[in-house]
């Protein structure tokens, strides 16, 4: 049976369709139509004036609802991913912070299981670390940061082949350039993060497979003086490199809105993705970190000593609202940076990230205030059952 979604403004990358409909068959989008006339045999779903947009794609997220992906259990993976699904993330790449070898192995195992589960939103694993600059550790555990040694990363890739989809490192540290070349050859997105890299390091990284700036602006250097001369940091260099992708934490706290807009003005929607970098505190009330590592204060996660931000408690719908309402980014581009751009970066744009025939039926409704009202994942309604009434 077909589902025909009508009564809303349908998002396309080139503009909005009014008076049209989205035709869903099973788990896939069958067609985007320029008419809302009833289709024989289709059950109509009235969006009631909502914006009809593609599901969000989250490529950097650590947990939610008290569950951390580093817990290394299927229960934690499902709890966090299901919470983010309710907030509009229909595709997710669980993230492990700097971890032990054993924790990485557990993460690979859980991700592998869920990638085979048709109702799961998990599409692969993201490793944030452990090959970073200790000086730029931020919320990463410094005692676990280490050089990029082939005897470790080749073994991890051997087990994680086809599961690990993205891996972040600081290109200036020992072994990191060879590491980048190695994992890029195996189809992994290589990202620059928690780094002291300067212009020279960033350009060398590009030559060795690094194509993405992790939580851009955060945990990377800006222009600074070396002696009497100014030296560009990773921020300026990446902005200067037109094909270097970036992701920005768009919670309105990690990066001031004016800086979000600046990155957008330089990179455009094609090269800039929005991300939450959300931690296990997301979606909780008065949740206490059992390790005492971080606290939630002023709407963001901080290290317990308040020396640095540790991550966000943002959700996919908040990214869109912040981009539009605070950073003055057009809605059509904010949606693009939460859907198509991350899909393209992660290599899943043939089935995800757009409302197009043949794509998965991952569909959201936003009301006029950009509040999330409805979530469909692969043709299954997971939020907004009232729209069927």
- The model's pLDDT over 8-44, given as tens digits with 9 standing for 90+, comes to 999 988 899 999 999 999 999 999 999 999 999 999 9
Q: List C-alpha distances in Å: 152 to 109, 112, 189, 283.
A: 17, 20, 18, 35
CA dist., res. 134 & res. 183, Å (int):
22
158-208 confidence digits (pLDDT tens): 999 999 999 999 999 999 999 999 999 999 999 999 999 999 999 999 999
Asked if 203 and 234 count as a contact pair (C-beta separation under 8 A), the reply is no
pLDDT of residue 77 exceeding 90, the answer is yes
Q: What are phi and psi of 321, to 5 degrees?
A: -60, -45
Do you find a cis peptide bond into 135, omega within 30 degrees of 0? no
Asked if 332 and 323 count as a contact pair (C-beta separation under 8 A), the reply is no
CA dist., res. 20 & res. 78, Å (int):
35
User: Nearest Cα to 28, choosing from 382, 388, 387, 379?
Assistant: 379
- As a whole number, mean pLDDT of residues 231-249 equals 98
| Pairing label, strands 63-64, 67-68 | antiparallel
Which of the two residues, 290 and 249, has the higher pLDDT score? 249
Asked if 29 and 41 count as a contact pair (C-beta separation under 8 A), the reply is no
pLDDT of residue 288 exceeding 80, the answer is no
User: Nearest Cα to 372, choosing from 324, 314, 333, 317?
Assistant: 317
CA dist., res. 101 & res. 118, Å (int):
28
Lowest-pLDDT choice from 145-149, 218-222, 285-289: 285-289
What is the band of 291 on the pLDDT scale with cuts at 50, 70, 90?
A: confident
pLDDT score at 333: 97
pLDDT score at 310: 80
Average pLDDT, the chain: 96
Of the chain, the percentage scoring pLDDT greater than 70 comes to 99
Q: List C-alpha distances in Å: 104 to 19, 115, 213.
A: 48, 16, 22
- As a whole number, mean pLDDT of residues 252-274 equals 97
Q: What are phi and psi of 50, to 5 degrees?
A: -75, 160
What is the band of 294 on the pLDDT scale with cuts at 50, 70, 90?
A: confident
pLDDT of residue 138 exceeding 90, the answer is no
Asked if 367 and 373 count as a contact pair (C-beta separation under 8 A), the reply is yes
322-338 confidence digits (pLDDT tens): 999 999 999 999 999 99
**Order of all β-strands in the sheet with 294-297:** 294-297, 300-303, 309-311
pLDDT of residue 72 exceeding 80, the answer is yes
Give the containing element (helix H, strand E) for 24. Answer: strand 21-25
3-state helix, strand, coil in the chain (%, to 5): 30, 30, 40
What is the band of 306 on the pLDDT scale with cuts at 50, 70, 90?
A: confident
| Pairing label, strands 9-12, 15-17 | antiparallel
pLDDT score at 14: 83
| Pairing label, strands 224-226, 210-213 | unpaired
pLDDT score at 33: 96
State the greatest distance between any 2 C-alpha atoms of the chain, in Å, as a whole number.
74
Which of the two residues, 276 and 293, has the higher pLDDT score? 276
CA dist., res. 131 & res. 128, Å (int):
8
Q: What are phi and psi of 246, to 5 degrees?
A: -135, 155
SS3 82: helix
CA dist., res. 75 & res. 68, Å (int):
10
CA dist., res. 294 & res. 227, Å (int):
36
- As a whole number, mean pLDDT of residues 288-315 equals 82
pLDDT score at 243: 98
Q: Is the pTM of this model over 0.75?
A: yes
């Amino acid at each position: 049976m077909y589902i025909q979604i009508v009564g809303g403004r349908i998002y396309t990358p080139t503009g909005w369709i009014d008076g049209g409909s989205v035709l869903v068959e099973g788990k896939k989008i069958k067609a985007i139509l320029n008419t809302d006339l009833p289709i024989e045999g289709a059950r109509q779903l009235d969006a009631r004036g909502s914006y009809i947009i593609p599901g969000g794609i989250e490529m950097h997220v650590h947990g939610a609802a008290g569950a951390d992906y580093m817990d290394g259990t299927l229960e934690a993976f499902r709890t966090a991913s299901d919470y983010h699904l309710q907030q509009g993330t229909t595709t997710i790449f669980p993230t492990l912070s700097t971890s032990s070898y054993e924790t990485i192995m557990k993460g690979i195992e859980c991700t592998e299981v869920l990638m085979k589960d048709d109702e799961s939103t998990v599409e692969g694993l993201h490793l944030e670390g452990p090959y970073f600059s200790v000086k730029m550790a931020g919320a990463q555990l410094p005692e676990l940061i280490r050089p990029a040694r082939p005897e470790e990363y080749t073994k991890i890739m051997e087990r994680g082949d086809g599961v690990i989809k993205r891996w972040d490192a600081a290109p200036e540290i020992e072994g990191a350039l060879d590491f980048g070349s190695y994992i890029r050859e195996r189809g992994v997105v290589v990202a620059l993060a928690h780094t002291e890299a300067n212009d020279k390091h960033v350009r060398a990284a590009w030559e060795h497979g690094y194509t993405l700036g992790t939580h851009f602006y955060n945990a990377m250097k800006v222009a600074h003086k070396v002696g009497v001369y100014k030296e560009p940091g990773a921020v300026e260099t990446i902005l200067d490199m037109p094909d270097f992708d970036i992701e920005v934490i768009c919670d309105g706290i990690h990066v001031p809105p004016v800086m979000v807009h600046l990155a957008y003005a330089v990179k455009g929607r094609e090269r800039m993705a929005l991300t939450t970098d959300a931690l296990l505190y997301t979606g909780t009330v008065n949740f206490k970190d059992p390790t005492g590592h971080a606290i939630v204060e002023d709407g963001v996660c901080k290290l317990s000593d308040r020396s640095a931000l540790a991550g966000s408690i943002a959700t996919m719908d908040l990214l869109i609202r912040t981009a539009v309402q605070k950073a003055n980014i057009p809605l059509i581009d904010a949606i693009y940076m939460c859907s198509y751009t991350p899909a393209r970066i992660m290599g899943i744009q043939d089935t995800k990230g757009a409302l197009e025939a043949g794509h998965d039926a991952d569909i959201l409704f936003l009301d006029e205030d950009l509040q999330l009202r409805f979530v469909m994942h692969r043709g299954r309604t997971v939020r907004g059952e009232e729209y069927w009434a």
